[in-house]
Amino acid sequence: MSRLTINQFRIIALIEGVSYVSFAITMPLKYGYEIKEPNYIVGMLHGLVFILYCFWLLILTLQKKWSWSMGILFFIASVIPFGTFYMDLKHLKPMLKNR
């Protein structure tokens, strides 16, 4: 797999992390102030980016760029706030530097 593909996954992972953390802003708006629209928009965008993230992760894992355990670790990181940022620092950046 080329460096470009892992770099693309890295960008998707960072966007997914930002969209997930954005709920920290939209949830208080929804439940505290009864403003539902921002949460709806962020939720839709996050859902689309999460599906893209999972799809890209599956492709990288099936092409044997990563082991299944690494793929599972990346998936778990996607459901933990700031998890994708941590995985970027600990795994994705070093992968791109070593190529």
Q: Is residue 53 part of a domain?
A: yes
Question: Which of these ranges, 1-5, 42-46, 65-69, has the smallest mean pLDDT?
Answer: 1-5
Domain count for the chain, please give it.
1
Residue 54 located in a structural domain: yes
Q: For the packed helices 23-32 and 3-21, what is the interaxial angle rounded to 10 degrees?
A: 20
Is residue 99 domain-resident? no
- The string of pLDDT tens digits covering residues 13-61 is 999 999 999 999 999 999 999 999 999 999 999 999 999 999 999 999 9
30 occurs within a structural domain: yes
Residue 14 is assigned to a structural domain of this protein = yes
Instruction: Give the number of other CB atoms < 10 A from CB of residue 78.
Output: 19
Per the domain annotation, does 57 fall within a domain?
yes
- pTM above threshold 0.85: yes
Range of the domain at 66: 3-93
